[in-house]
Amino acid sequence: MKILKTIEELQEVRKNILGTVGFVPTMGALHDGHISLIKQARTENDIVFVSIFVNPTQFLPGEDLDAYPRREEADKKICEMCKADYLFMPEISSMYKEEEVLIKAPNKSYILEGKARPSHFDGVLQVVLKLFGLVQPTNAYFGKKDAQQLTLIQQMVKNLFLPINIIPCPIVRESDGLARSSRNVYLTAQQRKDALLISKSLYSAANLIGKKEISVEAVKNRMYEVMETLDVEYVEIVNREFDKIDTIEIGNTIILVVARFGNTRLLDNIWL
């Protein structure tokens, strides 16, 4: 595996690559969820790129940019273990200039995660578009846990006519059901235990739907009952276009939940 630190290094390497290119963009602090993306990219492409870049434009004032977990040496070993060909680790100064061309996310970026974090998705799309322009991937891999982000990236690729396949990948969970996240390290032992109610609420929702319950209100009420001891920011049930719905549509529904544990927000979802 070769580590690339500058834009020029990446561009020089990329112009000589033939065949399919798989790309996994990350902010580092890699865990089993990232590993699953890299391994899938490895099996489906001739060349695999991974990027590690903690993107400042998607953090709002007061958020955890400086505290965001960084484990560069461990991340390098993980990428090597997963047989990535190239690891791109640029500096902020090389990715952003004094005067930027800004990206404006669509209106649906201001609901759910975007309601709590206005302009967050502008920053996400901005950096993803930059990375796509540099790596020029055939296939790019994103986890379904960040469902709204995934949907907006798919829309950007479609709207800007980018010749890239966006590959949605399943959520990876701990053995007890907690969704893998770089922010799980912030949890105390008790918060970690309490956080299991998030996935439990989703399993309860799926069980209820399996018994033919299709009322969105009934499913949401059941989830709130399961999580009654948590600081739940929202439970929302939408279709794949992120429109709110009143009735569960099998094959076209996402159930999303966010809860707070002190300063840590954990999000999870289930795709029906």
Q: Supply the residues annotated as catalytic.
A: 34
Place of tokens 């975007």: 114
